[in-house]
Amino acid sequence: MARLTIIEPRSSGCLLIDRARDLGHDPVVLTADRGERSVPRERLAAAAEVRIVDTNDDAAVLEVLQQLHDAAPLSAVLPGFEHYVPVAARAAAHLGLPGIDPDSALKLHYKHLMRQAVTDAAMDQPAAVLVSEPGEVEAAVTKVGLPCVVKPVNQSGSLFVRRADTLDEAVAAIDRIRNPAATYLDRQTLPVALVEEYVRGPEFSVEGYVEDGVAHVLCVTEKVLGPEPWFVEAGHILPADLPADREAEVTGYVRRVVAALGVGLGPFHAEVRLAERGPLLMEVAARLPGDRIPYLLSLARDVDLYAITLRAHLGEPIGPLAHGTRRQTAGIRYFQRPRIRRFTTMTVGAGVADDPRVREVSALHRPGADLPDPGSSSGRLGYVVATGATYRETTALLDAVDAAVSFT
């Protein structure tokens, strides 16, 4: 049994609490417990202890972790979400626990540092220019070309990421990022942006983990994106329907990226587009993937990414956890209805919910609540998780459920 901490769990991080408890550990949760930084009470019920702290204040988090460690030694510090990878790395290094190098954690979190590290490794990736002032936009657009992609350097969930087809659209996208009201999880969006080359081609994510400095790929996931100019993830299917040679090309590229960024242990979730000139990095994170991907991985490949994550941060060998036996396809589809600003009822068509291949159908917002902007993942209305013997079967089922679900 180990005593470990999880900093501000969200999405997959919430389920990490339950899995830690299932495996006999004592998870201690650090959360601000207010606003967007609130953990569902049913998830907190599995925690051995909950500490309320401003999780956006690194000094306060480090102080609480030191107090916990002094009272009863901690065995691991894990980030519960993308934004807490850097402070978890700092805390692990300070307490002498397994963790990602703090400098590497900063490169993983801040997208301009990530781009620079990949450039320094002489690897191909989309051309990118860091813009800090409106007067710099035209030169950046001239360099990368149109259309281009404008994104903040320190956000997640596709927030404020937009394709720009004209200079005026690029300027407007950057103005939105620079707006002081551009926050998420009570964190200010830095007033700088990347203007990047727009890459045409299908998008994939690569799920894996690092052990003893070696990157191991568990699966390649096909990503389904909603309509541009936004880049909201509308779904995921794994394993992707890729020829063996293209899959090897993608996974080999990601292994080199992970090494270039210094991911020393634990899970990684890398996103790439497969362009004519080969795979190109969108971004990579050293934490559990969101959007129920760990659950999809367990359904399709019988692999427990939660247990892998816990063992990695506890300094334990991964062993046979990464070698599942089940062989099927699993997918998730999010319900996107950008014209709907509020709904009172989500209706699932007759017969769909009773299909044994449909594992979950759920809404993501309370009936009657005002819905967030559809230009980020927060604006998705609900989702379905399904399995099938083949890629085609799973895709067809997800399509059918999406068509059978209505919001009124």
Which residues constitute the domain of residue 44? Answer: 3-97
For the chain, the domain total comes to: 3
**Are 24 and 145 found together in one domain?**
no
Confidence of residue 188 (pLDDT cuts 50, 70, 90): confident
CATH number at residue 134: 3.30.1490.20
The answer to the question of residue 311 being in a domain is yes
The answer to the question of residue 316 being in a domain is yes
> Of 197, 226, 243, which closes a domain?
197
The answer to the question of residue 236 being in a domain is yes
Residues 7-64 pLDDT 10s: 999 999 999 999 999 999 999 999 999 999 999 999 999 999 999 999 999 999 999 9
Average pLDDT of span 195-209: 98
**Are 68 and 172 found together in one domain?**
no
The answer to the question of residue 120 being in a domain is no
The answer to the question of residue 334 being in a domain is yes
**Are 244 and 332 found together in one domain?**
yes
**Are 91 and 163 found together in one domain?**
no
Assess whether pLDDT exceeds 80 at residue 322: no
The answer to the question of residue 112 being in a domain is no
Residues 274-292 pLDDT 10s: 999 999 999 999 999 999 9
The answer to the question of residue 253 being in a domain is yes
> Judging by beta carbons within 10 Å of its beta carbon (0-12, 13-18, 19+), is residue 147 exposed, middle or buried?
middle
**Are 183 and 220 found together in one domain?**
no
CATH number at residue 221: 3.30.470.20
**Are 177 and 314 found together in one domain?**
no
pTM of the model: 0.94
Q: What CA–CA distance (Å, rounded) separates 365 from 354? A: 23
